């Protein structure tokens, strides 16, 4: 089907792309689901669509209504696109450290931005709490009502992946998938996909690739969510607490992935496979590589290529930024690609 009535229908049905170098190295077939090919260029278009369409069905969104959300950016872009197509407005609360490209894209997609300084979740001024309070305040005066999307607690986020991402992976691998792994932002992707795939194949291996500073490695290996030391430049992932979405997830293959391990893979994918991806995809691919090594040759492993690299030109693909974080700069990026005419 490629005749659509709106951009909303163009979300999903992304291809699986074989990651050739790490597949050949491990003797596995490692596929990345190309979520950067969604209209908003990220996996979060799916959650944005589902949260809006389900709220409509419940009567929680009225024509002309306002959607409010706290987001690292991608959920906001997905919400804003779907909102425009269906006659709603969006107000997005975003930590000011997120990439300029994402903020620009949010404005382009029609969202009104509220940028707030980064604070830990325990701080009442963390962007997620600011978004909730703002939604409550705006609801007092908004004639058509306000929907607080609340992606960390909203199970429609999980269901988006249970109903679309998971079934697509099963269909496109013709049921040959042996393992699935990805990182956690809200956990919607990991929870929804793993639940669906487990229902099809009880012995499927589920992995979680966790950036430094997050608590999912600890949650899935010990049952207790304790944040690890350090941090990551990957945006949109790194959950530090148990939420209703991750509470029931079982991931028997958790990995803690430092940026220094993931970024060289990201740069290799750009240089040798033409795949331009963001930092969370790098953590995912590094996790898939570790899982392939642990499972051994002959397995089919799927991970998520969460968003497009154009979102991070000023950061991950900027040698000065990488140096400022003491991260490796690939030779091709350092050299540049310009030829004098």
Where does this chain bind ligand PMP (CB under 6 A)?
42-44, 72, 74-75, 183-189, 235-237, 278, 280, 306-307
**Which is catalytic among the residues 23, 228, 232, 280?**
280
Cβ(68)–Cβ(111) under 8 Å? no
Minimum CB separation of residue 44 from ligand PMP in Å reads 5
**Which is catalytic among the residues 23, 33, 42, 44?**
44
User: In the numeric block, which tokens belong to residue 202?
Assistant: 């009880």
What is the rounded distance in angstroms from the CA atom of residue 246 to the CA atom of residue 234?
Answer: 20
Minimum CB separation of residue 182 from ligand PMP in Å reads 7
Minimum CB separation of residue 305 from ligand PMP in Å reads 9
Does the active-site annotation cover 44?
Answer: yes
Q: How many CB atoms lie within 10 A of CB 18?
A: 14
Cβ(105)–Cβ(311) under 8 Å? yes
Residue 65 or 302: the one with the smaller Cβ distance to ligand PMP is 302
Among candidate residues 114, 128, 105, 115, the one with its CA nearest the CA of residue 38: 105
Residue 77 or 289: the one with the smaller Cβ distance to ligand PMP is 77
Among candidate residues 254, 261, 208, 252, the one with its CA nearest the CA of residue 232: 261
Q: How far is CA 69 from CA 8, 97, 114, 242, 247, in A?
A: 19, 17, 10, 20, 22
Does the active-site annotation cover 280?
Answer: yes
Residue nearest to ligand PMP (CB): 236
Residue 72 or 269: the one with the smaller Cβ distance to ligand PMP is 72
Minimum CB separation of residue 233 from ligand PMP in Å reads 12
Phi first, then psi, for residue 196 (nearest 5°) are: -65, -50
Minimum CB separation of residue 292 from ligand PMP in Å reads 20
Residue 55 or 183: the one with the smaller Cβ distance to ligand PMP is 183
Minimum CB separation of residue 112 from ligand PMP in Å reads 19
Residue 231 burial (C-beta neighbours within 10 Å; 0-12, 13-18, 19+): middle
Residue 177 or 283: the one with the smaller Cβ distance to ligand PMP is 283
Cβ(179)–Cβ(301) under 8 Å? yes
User: In the numeric block, which tokens belong to residue 107?
Assistant: 């404005």
What is the rounded distance in angstroms from the CA atom of residue 106 to the CA atom of residue 310?
Answer: 14
Residue 23 or 157: the one with the smaller Cβ distance to ligand PMP is 157
What is the rounded distance in angstroms from the CA atom of residue 167 to the CA atom of residue 283?
Answer: 23
**Catalytic residue numbers, as ranges:** 44, 280
């Amino acid at each position: 089907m490629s005749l659509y009535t709106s951009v909303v229908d163009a979300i999903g049905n992304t291809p699986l792309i074989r990651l050739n170098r790490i597949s050949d190295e491990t003797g596995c077939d490692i596929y990345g689901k190309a979520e950067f090919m969604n209209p908003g260029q990220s996996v979060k278009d799916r959650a944005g669509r589902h949260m809006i369409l389900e709220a409509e069905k419940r009567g929680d969104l009225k024509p002309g209504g306002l959607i409010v959300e706290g987001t690292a950016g991608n959920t906001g872009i997905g919400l804003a696109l779907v909102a425009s197509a269906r006659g709603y407005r969006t107000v997005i609360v975003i930590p000011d450290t997120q990439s300029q490209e994402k903020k620009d894209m949010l404005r382009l997609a029609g969202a009104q931005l509220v940028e707030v300084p980064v604070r830990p979740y325990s701080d009442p001024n963390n962007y997620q709490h600011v978004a909730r309070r703002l939604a409550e305040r705006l609801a007092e005066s908004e004639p058509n009502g306000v929907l607080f999307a609340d992606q960390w607690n909203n199970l429609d986020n999980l269901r988006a992946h249970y109903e679309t991402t998971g079934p697509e992976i099963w269909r496109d691998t013709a049921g040959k998938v042996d393992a699935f792994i990805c990182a956690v932002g809200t956990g919607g992707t990991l929870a929804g996909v793993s639940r669906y795939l487990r229902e099809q194949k009880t012995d499927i291996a589920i992995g979680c690739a966790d950036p430094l500073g997050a608590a999912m490695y600890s949650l899935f290996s010990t049952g207790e969510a304790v944040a690890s030391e350090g941090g990551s430049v990957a945006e949109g992932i790194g959950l530090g607490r148990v939420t209703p979405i991750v509470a029931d997830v079982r991931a028997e293959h958790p990995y803690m992935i430092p940026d220094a391990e993931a970024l060289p893979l990201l740069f290799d994918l750009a240089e040798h496979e033409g795949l331009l991806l963001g930092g969370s995809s790098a953590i995912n691919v590094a996790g898939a590589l570790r899982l392939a090594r642990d499972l051994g040759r002959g397995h089919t492993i799927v991970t998520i290529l969460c968003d497009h690299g154009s979102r991070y030109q000023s950061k991950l693909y900027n040698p000065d930024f990488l140096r400022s974080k003491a991260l490796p700069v690939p030779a091709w990026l350092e050299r540049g690609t310009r030829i004098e005419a």
